Structure 1
Amino acid sequence: MARKQSDYLAALLSDDDFRLEDDVAPPAGNASEATAEPASLPPIEPRPRAERSRGTTLLGRESALARVATGEVRQVTQLLLDPARVRIWPGNARSYAHLSEESCRELIDSIIAEGGQKVPAVVRRVEGDADHDYEVIAGTRRHWSISWLRGHSYPDMQFVAQVAQLDDEAAFRLADLENRARKDVSDLERARNYAHALRDHYGNHMTRMAERLKLSKGWLSKMLKVAAIPDAVLSAFASPADVQLKPAYPLAQLLDDRDKAVAIRKEASRLAREQANRRADGRPAIVAADVLKALLAAPDAERAKPEPMTIVSRHGRTMATVQSSNRQGVTLRLHAGSGANREEVLNAVRNLLIQLDGEGRGLQT
């Protein structure tokens, strides 16, 4: 862990709103083991061997108990839990639904090799949920991996966790700290998690949020900007995990311009169809760099198009033309002499408006 992260973790764990429960008794049916933070004893004057042998055990026990009583040493209980009784806290950036055997394979193999989970997760108690006793704040992949192992030849595997008392804002900071070091948490997942936290925990005060998370305000601003990229544009990428902060930020800026956003949405729709066709045919997806390049170039390409959108009748003659489509509305020209009857013209106009809506240029935008 980098020095900045280790300092932040130390500050986080020292906050009044975050503390591990002391002397937690596990629920019925669960095993537990208690550990105490190591503390050095004051120097003791040498004594005869026989006297030392009589007094060392008693002295050590009394000293340890005294340190626990004064709060100098904190006992932390590790619980062995059934993962089915532990739910996932929705405030975590990691998408539990997108975890898989492949993405957790290294962790699964490590747990098997070591005979169980060695690094405990952090959980907190829940109330009013008949199906769950705890929820995971940090340790989502560990929970998924233990759950997977219990269903695949390791039914006795237990989920190891430490119980913490903390509110939602402190839980968010703890989960965020863990996710910063995880390569499998995408920039988009973190960005959208930050956007939700800004609203839910910080009253939309970005400066306060940046201070609490020990982040640059400028960097946080960019993350929140990327979080605002709509799903219709993100569908152009093969996976949301392909959306990285630095290259996606210029795209997010372009989307602030409504006219440019129309062209980007149209290109995104085309790319999404192409991605779907490639998946259906078993072909490789369009790589993220090419998708981003096409989306960024879409506004200029749209302006360079010389031909307006037209509809041709069954007689091969122009029936309708889109003369303009902008924030003021859609302007259509209906051509005489196309050979189409009124019903055909009305159907053509209806289909044209549906197409424009799908591209973000219609009357619904």
Structure 2
Amino acid sequence: MARKQSDYLAALLAEDEETPDTTPAPVVIDNTPAPRPSGVADEPAPVPGAQAKPAPTPPVSPAPASPPRPAAPGLGPLRGTTLLNRESALARVASGEVRQVTQLLLDPARVRVWAGNARSYAHLSEESCRELIDSIIAEGGQKVPAVVRRIENDPAYDYEVIAGTRRHWSIAWLRANSYPQFQFLAQVAQLDDEAAFRLADLENRARKDVSDLERARNYALALKDHYGNHLTRMAERLKLSKGWLSKMLRVATIPDAIVAAFASPADVQLKPGYALAQALDDKNAQVAILKEARQLAREQDAARSTGRPTVPSPEVLKRLLAAPTAGNSPSGPLFSWDAPMSGRRAVSVLSAGRQGVTIKLHNGTGATTEDLIEGVRAALDALEAQGKGMQR
């Protein structure tokens, strides 16, 4: 056994060393005669007064003496069975059959959060972590360990959190709020940055409180840092759809000035966020959207300061997407077409932009299907002439 394993074995045995029992074991003698096999005659009964011949004593071969098992240094005599079991366990660890896991109780102040984690530590709060905080209090401490790795050359920190940011925040909050006895339970792992990113991503996928925007920005950084800007390679490593990952990366391009228009970054979800990111590709639309976002941000701040409800995310998204046409659109439709028989408006173009053209067909005009088709064709021709036609 290698010296390092021997030292580790000694440390294990020192934790639960037992005092050897020096009392000799009692010898039990069984005088019950064994049953005689069938077909064998019984021996004759002894004749009274006759001297009985002593039964021959079979030679007894002495059992070879087992050499005493050496004790671990400084531990005194040990029980052979315990030592054998632990030697076997260490052999399984050395062979790779069993993996040794190191868990530590740490001061959260000596542990930082890895910058590659998707979760925004700054946005965690007592309210968002309330359920976890109550669980830790009820169970008398943290039961599920976080995953950390050791860091070097940082006098302020010894470890950094790879997975378990909310657990770290909750323990730190509890220690500062009447529970100084709680410690941060962590499992130490040796991971490079790419493996750490994949581990953190797997955990965050199961967390509903990690927003799509947080994950999208995390993916955008990882694409550059770990995968050389190769989208296909990243999708393969993460076992994700390439199309889905591409949409997430587009959401990551939404600037902070527009995110501030929402009550929380968690409100920026994949589907509406992707539509907003597409609208921002138009430089002219981007100016109007940024202006509306600043106005919304002021409204959100005022609502928070006065305790009023914030602007809900569907309303925010609607106002942002409508901003490019809100300021310069005429009071009426962009184009209208009247039915030839009644002279009443039968076709109206309500909006035209990057997302498409909105056309309204009016009821009760007396227009036939062929009339309406002609009206839609006229509307598209008019938009084309204005430079707002359908993109091919």
TM-score of the alignment, normalized to the shorter chain, above 0.5:
yes
Give the one of 100, 123, 134 matched to 1:109: 134
Residue-by-residue CA offset, 1:313-345 (whole Å, 9 max, x unaligned): xxxxxxxxxxxxxxxxxxxxxxxxxxxxxxxxx
Give the one of 281, 289, 299 matched to 1:256: 281
Shift of 1:88: 0.9
- The residue type equivalent to 2:199 in the other structure is L
Give the one of 169, 174, 192 matched to 2:217: 192
Aligned to 1:80, the other structure's residue is in SS state strand
- The residue type equivalent to 1:97 in the other structure is A
**Which of structures 1 and 2 has the larger relative contact order (alpha carbons within 8 angstroms, sep 6+)?**
1
Structure 2 unmatched runs, 5+: 8-14, 16-78, 332-392
Q: Distance in 1 between matches of 2:206 and 2:325?
A: 38
Q: Distance in 1 between matches of 2:255 and 2:208?
A: 23
Give the one of 185, 199, 216 matched to 1:174: 199
Q: Distance in 1 between matches of 2:270 and 2:144?
A: 30
Give the one of 246, 268, 281 matched to 1:243: 268
Shift of 1:151: 1.5
Matches within 5 A, 1:177-326: 177-305=202-330
TM-score (norm 1): 0.66
Give the one of 162, 173, 178 matched to 2:187: 162
Distance change in 2, residues 1:278/1:129 (3 Å): same
1:121 is matched with: 146
Shift of 1:59: 5.5
Residue-by-residue CA offset, 1:199-222 (whole Å, 9 max, x unaligned): 111111111111111111111111
- The residue type equivalent to 2:269 in the other structure is Q
Aligned to 1:263, the other structure's residue is in SS state helix
Structure 1 unmatched runs, 5+: 1-21, 26-32, 34-53, 307-365
Residue-by-residue CA offset, 1:95-132 (whole Å, 9 max, x unaligned): 11111111111111111111111111111010101111
Q: Distance in 2 between matches of 1:187 and 1:84?
A: 29
- The residue type equivalent to 1:185 in the other structure is V
The 10-residue stretch of structure 1 (60-69 or 131-140) with the greater mean CA deviation from structure 2? 60-69
Q: Distance in 2 between matches of 1:247 and 1:66?
A: 56
1:141 is matched with: 166
Shift of 1:240: 1.3
Q: Distance in 2 between matches of 1:90 and 1:292?
A: 29
Residue-by-residue CA offset, 1:142-177 (whole Å, 9 max, x unaligned): 111111111122212111111111111111111111
Q: Distance in 2 between matches of 1:282 and 1:136?
A: 35
Q: Distance in 1 between matches of 2:282 and 2:165?
A: 38
- The residue type equivalent to 1:247 in the other structure is P
Shift of 1:62: 4.2
Distance change in 2, residues 1:111/1:282 (3 Å): closer
Aligned to 1:117, the other structure's residue is in SS state coil
1:132 equivalent to 2:157? Answer yes
Shift of 1:58: 6.0
Give the one of 86, 89, 112 matched to 1:87: 112
TM-score (norm 2): 0.62
- The residue type equivalent to 2:188 in the other structure is V
Q: Distance in 2 between matches of 1:231 and 1:110?
A: 34
Shift of 1:69: 2.5
Please identify the structure whose Cα radius of gyration is greater: 2
Q: Distance in 1 between matches of 2:94 and 2:257?
A: 58
Distance change in 2, residues 1:132/1:64 (3 Å): same
- The residue type equivalent to 2:238 in the other structure is L
Shift of 1:56: 6.4
Aligned to 1:161, the other structure's residue is in SS state strand
- The residue type equivalent to 1:230 in the other structure is P
- The residue type equivalent to 1:128 in the other structure is N
Q: Distance in 1 between matches of 2:94 and 2:295?
A: 67
Q: Distance in 2 between matches of 1:273 and 1:150?
A: 36
Q: Distance in 1 between matches of 2:314 and 2:163?
A: 32
Percent same amino acid among aligned pairs?
Answer: 79
Q: Distance in 2 between matches of 1:184 and 1:305?
A: 42
Aligned to 1:304, the other structure's residue is in SS state coil
How big is the alpha-carbon RMSD for the aligned residues of Structure 1 and Structure 2? Answer: 2.3
